[in-house]
């Protein structure tokens, strides 16, 4: 039986997003908020059932509630990401996805400028750079993909260093 790449992606996203507070050990993470967790779960359930418009509606609530945090555009971009994965030959959503990842990076940078050790910002910036690099790789833009991957690793490794007991991040 072959493994569905969307199922693997689903498991990774759930673990990454819902376990971030425990991994980061950061008391101020908005992901620790029970209401935010419930909203994320609701949105992801819609996403995994291919109800993209409903997922975007749910994720937009988080973005409205936390307009300066990178979680909003990151979650909102997941619907675009899935649509891209469903047809990798369709380039029509690339610009939208790249713009969303740039917004995640910009919001993260604003937070990191104030607090270079903010683990939420490092996590989401690393994830955005990683996703952006992955799409660039899919598109054959190897140099930019490698540059994104190199930058992403800096953040991924810093987050992993903060909790070296968690195998998912190490």
The secondary structure element, H or E, covering residue 80 is: helix 71-86
Q: How confident is the model at residue 19 (pLDDT cuts 50, 70, 90)?
A: very low
Q: What pLDDT shows up at residue 55?
A: 96
Q: What pLDDT shows up at residue 119?
A: 86
Angle of helix 71-86 relative to helix 5-24, nearest 10 degrees, comes to: 160
The region, left, alpha or beta by phi > 0 then psi within -120 to 50, assigned to residue 64 is: alpha
| Max CA distance (Å), the chain | 49
Question: What tokens were used for 79?
Answer: 């619907």
Residue 20 has pLDDT above 70, yes or no: no
Mean pLDDT across the stretch 82-99? 95
22-37, pLDDT tens digit by residue?
444 445 677 778 899 8
Mean pLDDT lowest among 6-20, 110-124, 155-169: 6-20
Which string of DSSP letters, residue by residue, matches 82-148?
A: HHHHHTTT--TTHHHHHHHHHHHHHHHHHHHHH-TT-HHHHHHHHHHHHHHHHHHHHTT-HHHHHHH
Q: What pLDDT shows up at residue 152?
A: 93
Q: What pLDDT shows up at residue 90?
A: 95
Q: What pLDDT shows up at residue 114?
A: 96
Q: What pLDDT shows up at residue 167?
A: 57
**Of the candidates 36, 49, 53, 69, which has an alpha carbon nearest to the alpha carbon of residue 6?**
49
Q: How confident is the model at residue 39 (pLDDT cuts 50, 70, 90)?
A: very high
Mean pLDDT across the stretch 134-140? 95
**Of the candidates 101, 110, 168, 108, which has an alpha carbon nearest to the alpha carbon of residue 129?**
101
Q: What pLDDT shows up at residue 157?
A: 87
Q: How confident is the model at residue 166 (pLDDT cuts 50, 70, 90)?
A: low
Which residues, in sequence order, are CB contacts of 158 under 8 Å at separation 6+? 122
């Amino acid at each position: 039986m072959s493994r569905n790449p969307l199922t693997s992606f689903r498991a990774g996203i759930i673990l990454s997003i819902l376990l971030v507070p425990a991994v980061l050990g950061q008391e101020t993470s908005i992901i620790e908020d029970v209401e935010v967790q419930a909203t994320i779960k609701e949105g992801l359930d819609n996403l995994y059932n291919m109800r993209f418009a409903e997922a975007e509606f749910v994720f937009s609530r988080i973005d409205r509630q936390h307009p300066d945090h990178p979680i909003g555009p990151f979650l909102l971009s997941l619907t675009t990401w899935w649509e891209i994965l469903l047809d990798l030959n369709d380039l029509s959503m690339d610009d939208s996805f790249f713009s969303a990842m740039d917004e995640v990076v910009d919001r993260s940078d604003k937070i990191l400028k104030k607090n270079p050790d903010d683990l939420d910002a490092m996590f989401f910036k690393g994830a955005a750079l990683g996703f952006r690099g992955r799409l660039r790789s899919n598109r054959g833009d190897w140099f930019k993909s490698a540059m994104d991957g190199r930058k992403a690793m800096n953040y991924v490794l810093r987050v992993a260093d903060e909790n070296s007991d968690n195998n998912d991040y190490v």
